[in-house]
């Protein structure tokens, strides 16, 4: 990590990177790698595929950096590239409508949804852990377009405007998809015996 680059803002790094400064671009990728990987994994459900598409999106960003308009956030632009990469991969394997995953949750998987534990009892803790696992599993089973909005908004805590920009849709469409995703998630969780 270059201390001098570490102190620069994303906008300052983009200016350098657009002048083909590779260390500046590497710093931008370092700052965005964790969130990018979580998003790709939430979409593709496979660690290797997620890593591949993160790398592909970084390469595409480097190749098209001259097209980036600095009026918007770099992270939003990069997210849009990554989402497009992931959706193209899903279409290639004909999984674009629904993705079902029955394998167990991995420790290195996407961010866990933590539920507040108001009662500090072993029973409450176990119940909350079980519900969190059910939620993670059911989020994975949502259609990719609903899942991406839910993960970006509720897990990665992006604003509605940021999600809209990343997906290239209106804020109204984000709100609609998010409402559908939350409703579907509630229905799925209720169907396996958990109240929401």
| pTM of the predicted model as reported, rounded to 2 decimal places | 0.55
- Model pLDDT for residues 144-181, shown as the tens digit of each residue: 888 889 888 887 778 889 889 888 899 999 999 989 98
- Mean of per-residue pLDDT scores for the chain: 79
Interacting residues of 53 by C-beta distance below 8 A, sequence separation 6+: 40, 44, 82, 85, 86, 89
Per-residue pLDDT for 119 more than 80? no
CA dihedral 72, 77, 78, 81 (to 10 degrees): 180
Q: Flag whether pLDDT at 182 surpasses 50.
A: yes
pLDDT tens for each residue of 53-94: 999 999 999 999 998 987 788 998 999 899 888 888 887 765
User: Among residues 87, 110, 85, which one has the least CA distance to residue 35?
Assistant: 110
Give all domains of the chain, ordered by start, each with its CATH number.
3-191 (1.10.1740.10)
Examine the pLDDT at 35 and tell me if it is beyond 80. yes
Closest CA to 138 of 176, 101, 97, 178: 101
Comparing 99-103, 128-132, 144-148, 170-174, which segment has the lowest mean pLDDT?
99-103
């Amino acid at each position: 990590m270059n201390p001098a680059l570490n102190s620069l803002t994303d906008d300052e790094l983009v200016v350098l990177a657009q002048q083909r400064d590779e260390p500046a671009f590497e710093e931008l990728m370092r700052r965005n790698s964790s969130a990018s990987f979580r998003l790709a994994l939430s979409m593709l459900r496979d660690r290797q595929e997620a890593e591949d598409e993160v790398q592909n999106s970084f390469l595409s960003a480097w190749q098209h950096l001259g097209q980036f308009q600095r009026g918007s956030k770099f992270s939003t632009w990069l997210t849009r590239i990554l989402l497009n990469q992931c959706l193209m991969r899903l279409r290639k394997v004909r999984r674009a409508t629904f993705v079902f995953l029955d394998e167990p949750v991995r420790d290195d998987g996407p961010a866990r949804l933590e539920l507040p534990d108001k009662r500090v009892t072993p029973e409450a803790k176990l119940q909350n852990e079980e519900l969190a696992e059910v939620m993670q599993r059911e989020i994975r089973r949502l259609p990719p377009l609903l899942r991406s909005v839910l993960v970006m908004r509720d897990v990665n805590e992006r604003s509605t405007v940021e999600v809209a920009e990343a997906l290239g849709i209106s804020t109204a469409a984000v709100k609609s998809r998010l409402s559908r995703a939350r409703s579907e998630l509630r229905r799925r969780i209720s169907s396996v015996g958990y109240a929401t």
